[in-house]
């Protein structure tokens, strides 16, 4: 950028090189770049009234904040002091010799009355062994180890597919997520804390399907009383539509094994086209009720009350009550946390985050007055739309495109010797301009693959208004049919890509002016906030970690309203018994002016600060 001006007496240098009223040229490219970087830094940390956790996983992990001189505090060894031992009443089943037969209901006749409701309170992976099954770990000559399940009839099953088929044809009441073929997952062990200064048998007061114990191994303090609720409770100003007539459903009778036929599965799969890659992922969703492939950023649609499938459906996970044995315990610097008493396989469902649904204004008011440590915003829409931010930077301005077009036409006129060549050159220039305009329109929908939280809702609305103003100010252009040098009209070029299929890395969006999905519900629509400070479930005790072992997933169960997804937690990797369960809060450092919060997760990748 060049800046022109004239020197005054105050600007004159002592050497006398610059003289009064003499024209000078100043290069300000470096200063302009610094201003842009400063503006980008301000947009990255949009100011907020209170701190709120993000319940939607970003497409890529946010960059770490600048290094800090503060030392990372290690976790106290007394927090997780305990031992992992075998359970006291280990079930012992006598192996039965396999007789050639066709499996049916007779295979489980001695255990036909065993129900999972009767076995609740035990390790879910232990329930098959309490129902006549045997879990065997086979060691091969190559030191490889595999897991086999021996059914009550003596038949050996080697995979989850075989187990699910056996459960279907025999009518066994066990469910598929009670089986695990990872040899490193232990089913006969449990964690027992070394000391208990004070304890509570069930912190949910009987409202959970499984008792949630609470222990304090550091002192004799008890956790604050919280009204326990397993469901989200809307407050004033929150209109949560739970009418079943507004849900799409499936008519599957095979427990939704065929993803191509199940309409609920297809909602999850088709939604992956609008993800960061822009490609369809046919494997998206649960794999035998476990999210082994990680977070599905576009959300998961489970089967609902209108579907004809049974409770053993493979697409029903978060709607089931709690089955894992979890324990709330006191930490040294992070308040109360939660840990598992049994091993959890990778992708296993843990629990949901429940509490009061608040409007943004009410959440800001309550956060300032009573604290914001339990506020989590339902930003599913914003995280997806943030993938499309930055598309305006690729659009060529009307003035610039007009100047370039005139320069090209002038260059063609100078180089064209004859009339025919001049006509052909003019046609080529017009086609080039039209292709450039088309490329500019396509560039609008290129998603940004960078992670982070972006500039927030304010920047997104400002970007939309700027785009609408720019579009309204431009004049419509009417295309005319161009002919080639021979005078014949060129046939349209057919696309080899099927209709309705977006190209890789692009989002399939309408050609009209972009409008946020949030604005479709009303002019004053903002993110709704889940508050679990006074009313909530055990999800409120999940602490933050910069190296979490739990990830958050948005799931649609009782409503398909994009504003109100369920917030569910799944195991990011194999979790050993006695390990604390943590997830990444995705706080923005500097987003709340005047508030600083340090991180005490004790991880080697600790970022030092949360706010």
pLDDT tens-place string over residues 89-113? 888 888 888 999 999 999 998 888 8
**What's the length of the chain?**
611
Answer with the residue of higher pLDDT: 78 or 533: 533
Q: Among the listed ranges 345-354, 379-388, 578-587, which one has the minimum average pLDDT value?
A: 379-388
**Of 156, 151, 145, which is closest to residue 184 (Cα–Cα)?**
145
**Of 79, 74, 26, which is closest to residue 332 (Cα–Cα)?**
79
Rounded to an integer, what distance in angstroms lies between the CA atom of residue 77 and that of residue 179? 33
Asked whether the predicted pLDDT for residue 330 surpasses 60, the reply is yes
Span(s) in the chain for CATH 2.170.270.10: 53-58+72-79+199-385+523-583
Residue 178's pLDDT band (boundaries 50, 70, 90)? very high
pLDDT for res 466: 52
Rounded to an integer, what distance in angstroms lies between the CA atom of residue 222 and that of residue 210? 21
Q: How far is CA 229 from CA 6, 532, 540, in A?
A: 72, 9, 11
Q: E strands along 151-291, which residues? A: 156-157, 189-193, 198-200, 213-216, 227-228, 233-234
pLDDT tens-place string over residues 28-73? 444 445 445 444 444 445 577 888 888 886 544 444 444 444 444 4
pLDDT for res 142: 86
pLDDT for res 450: 40
Asked whether the predicted pLDDT for residue 201 surpasses 80, the reply is yes
Rounded to an integer, what distance in angstroms lies between the CA atom of residue 232 and that of residue 356? 6
Q: Are strands 213-216 and 326-330 parallel, antiparallel or unpaired?
A: parallel
Q: Are strands 355-358 and 233-234 parallel, antiparallel or unpaired?
A: parallel
For the CA atoms of 100, 102, 103, 106, what is the dihedral angle to 10 degrees? -90
Asked whether the predicted pLDDT for residue 436 surpasses 80, the reply is no
Supply 595's token pair: 């508030």
Asked whether the predicted pLDDT for residue 378 surpasses 80, the reply is yes
pLDDT for res 197: 93
pLDDT for res 21: 52
Answer with the residue of higher pLDDT: 557 or 431: 557
| First-last CA distance in the chain | 37
pLDDT for res 437: 46
DSSP codes of every residue in 45-96: T---SS--EE-S--SSPPPPPPP-SSPPPPPPTTTT-EEEEE-SS-------
The three-point CA angle 371-377-381 to 5° equals 165
Element (H, E) at 402: helix 398-415
Query: Among all chains, which residue has been given the structure tokens 């062990």?
Result: 189
Rounded to an integer, what distance in angstroms lies between the CA atom of residue 463 and that of residue 375? 27
pLDDT for res 456: 45
Span(s) in the chain for CATH 3.30.890.10: 88-187
CB atoms within 10 A of CB 276: 20
CA 311 to chain CA centroid, Å, is 26
Asked whether the predicted pLDDT for residue 457 surpasses 70, the reply is no
Which residues does residue 567 pair with via DSSP β-bridges, in sequence order?
Answer: 554
The secondary structure of residue 12, as a DSSP letter, is -
Answer with the residue of higher pLDDT: 317 or 394: 317
Answer with the residue of higher pLDDT: 264 or 21: 264
pLDDT for res 498: 39
CA 140 to chain CA centroid, Å, is 39
Q: Is 255 helix (H, G, I), strand (E, B) or coil?
A: coil
Asked whether the predicted pLDDT for residue 381 surpasses 80, the reply is yes
Q: Is 37 helix (H, G, I), strand (E, B) or coil?
A: helix
Supply 433's token pair: 């301009």
Domain 53-58+72-79+199-385+523-583 in this protein, CATH class: mainly beta
pLDDT tens-place string over residues 136-165? 999 988 889 999 999 999 999 999 999 999
Q: Among the listed ranges 193-202, 407-416, 417-426, which one has the minimum average pLDDT value?
A: 417-426
pLDDT for res 89: 84
CATH number of 88-187: 3.30.890.10
pLDDT tens-place string over residues 213-268? 999 999 999 999 999 999 999 999 999 989 888 898 999 999 999 999 999 999 99
Query: Among all chains, which residue has been given the structure tokens 């009383």?
Result: 225
Rounded to an integer, what distance in angstroms lies between the CA atom of residue 131 and that of residue 149? 12
pTM of the predicted structure, to 2 decimals: 0.74
Rounded to an integer, what distance in angstroms lies between the CA atom of residue 161 and that of residue 158? 8
CB atoms within 10 A of CB 353: 24
**Of 485, 486, 491, which is closest to residue 424 (Cα–Cα)?**
485
Alpha-helical (H) ranges within 116-194 are 160-170
pLDDT for res 22: 55
């Amino acid at each position: 950028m060049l800046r022109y001006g004239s020197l005054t007496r105050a600007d004159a240098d002592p050497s006398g090189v610059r003289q009064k009223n003499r024209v000078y040229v100043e290069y300000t490219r470096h200063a302009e770049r610094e201003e842009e970087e400063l503006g980008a830094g301000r947009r990255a940390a949009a100011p907020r009234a209170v701190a709120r956790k993000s319940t939607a996983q970003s497409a890529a992990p946010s960059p770490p904040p600048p290094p800090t001189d503060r030392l990372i505090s290690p976790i106290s060894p007394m927090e997780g002091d305990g031992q992992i031992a075998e359970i006291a009443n280990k079930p012992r089943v006598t192996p039965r010799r396999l007789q050639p037969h066709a499996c049916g209901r007779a295979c489980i006749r001695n255990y036909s009355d065993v129900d999972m409701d009767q076995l609740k309170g035990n390790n879910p992976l232990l329930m098959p062994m309490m129902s006549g099954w045997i879990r065997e770990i086979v060691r091969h000559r190559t030191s490889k180890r595999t897991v086999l399940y021996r059914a009550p009839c003596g038949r050996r099953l080697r995979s989850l597919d075989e187990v699910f088929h056996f459960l279907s044809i025999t009518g066994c009441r066990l469910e598929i997520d009670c089986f695990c073929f990872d040899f490193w997952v232990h089913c006969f062990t449990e964690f027992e804390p070394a000391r208990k200064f004070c304890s509570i048998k069930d912190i949910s007061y009987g409202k959970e399907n499984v008792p949630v114990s609470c222990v304090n191994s550091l002192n004799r303090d008890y956790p604050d009383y919280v009204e326990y609720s397993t469901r989200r409770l809307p407050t004033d100003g929150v209109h949560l539509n739970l009418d079943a007539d507004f849900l799409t459903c499936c008519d599957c009778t095979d427990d939704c094994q065929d993803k191509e036929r199940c309409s609920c599965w297809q909602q999850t799969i088709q939604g992956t086209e609008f993800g960061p890659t822009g490609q369809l992922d046919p494997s998206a969703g649960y794999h035998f009720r476990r999210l082994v492939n990680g977070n599905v950023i576009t959300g998961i649609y489970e089967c609902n009350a209108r579907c004809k499938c049974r409770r053993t459906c493979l697409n029903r996970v978060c709607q089931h009550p709690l089955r894992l044995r979890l324990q709330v315990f006191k930490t040294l610097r992070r308040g109360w946390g939660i840990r598992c008493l049994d091993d959890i396989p990778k992708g296993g469902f843990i629990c949901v985050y429940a509490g009061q649904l608040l409007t943004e204004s009410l959440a800001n008011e309550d956060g300032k007055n009573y604290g914001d440590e339990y506020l989590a915003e339902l930003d599913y829409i914003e995280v997806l739309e943030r993938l499309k931010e930055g598309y305006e930077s690729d659009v060529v301005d009307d003035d610039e495109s007009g100047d370039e077009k005139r320069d090209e036409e002038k260059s063609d006129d100078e180089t064209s010797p004859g009339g025919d060549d001049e006509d052909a050159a003019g046609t080529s220039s017009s086609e080039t301009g039209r292709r450039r305009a088309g490329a500019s329109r396509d560039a609008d929908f290129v998603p940004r693959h960078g992670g982070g939280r972006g500039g927030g809702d304010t920047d997104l609305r400002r970007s939309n208004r700027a785009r609408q103003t720019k579009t309204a100010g431009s004049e419509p252009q009417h295309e005319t049919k161009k002919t080639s040098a021979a005078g014949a009209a060129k046939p349209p070029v057919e696309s080899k890509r099927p209709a309705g299929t977006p190209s890789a890395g692009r989002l399939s969006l309408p050609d009209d002016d972009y409008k946020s999905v949030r604005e479709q519900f009303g002019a004053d629509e903002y993110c709704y906030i889940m508050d679990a400070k006074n009313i909530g479930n055990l999800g409120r005790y999940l602490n933050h970690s910069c190296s979490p072992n739990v990830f958050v997933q948005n799931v649609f169960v009782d409503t398909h309203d994009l504003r109100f997804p369920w917030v569910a937690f799944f195991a990011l990797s194999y979790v050993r018994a006695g390990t604390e369960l943590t997830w990444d809060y995705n706080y923005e450092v500097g987003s709340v002016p005047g508030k600083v919060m340090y991180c005490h997760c004790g991880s080697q990748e600790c970022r030092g600060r949360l706010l």
